[in-house]
Amino acid sequence: MDTFNTIVEFLNDFVFYVQMKWNQTNRFLRALFLVLVFELQIYPTRKLGFRCNDSSLSYPFYGDTISWKWLLAVCSLAPLLVMLIVEQVCQDKEKARKRSLRWFKEYMFG
């Protein structure tokens, strides 16, 4: 029991000494100390990030939310319909139809 008390007293004195020295040093040395501790990995840190085959991140695959048919239809037909309607409302019928089909061809094929 006597050795335990001496160890506790030593640790208390050591902590007090470190606190006193810590209070006496300037901020630059404190920051330098913290940078060295973490950069040299003296203090263990957790690694961030993930691995590609991490099973804790994977979810079951339920399929596509939008089928490729709907996606293709919306991306190709919606611009054509908008161009046809705008040209129909704004200008002459025959010119508008030709112009909107030309724009659609440029949209689809470049």
Q: Which domain holds residue 6?
A: 2-39
96 lies in a domain?
yes
Angle subtended by helix axes 68-90 and 93-109, to nearest 10: 150
8 lies in a domain?
yes
Residue with tokens 């006597």: 2
46 lies in a domain?
no
Domain count, the chain: 2
Contacts of residue 37, Cβ cutoff 8 Å, sequence gap at least 6: 43
Using alpha carbons, select from 95, 75, 70, 68 the residue that is nearest to residue 84: 95
pLDDT in tens, the chain (110 residues): 677 788 888 888 888 887 777 766 677 777 888 888 878 877 666 666 777 777 777 788 788 888 889 998 888 899 889 888 887 777 766 777 788 888 888 888 87
33 lies in a domain?
yes
| Whole-prediction pTM | 0.31
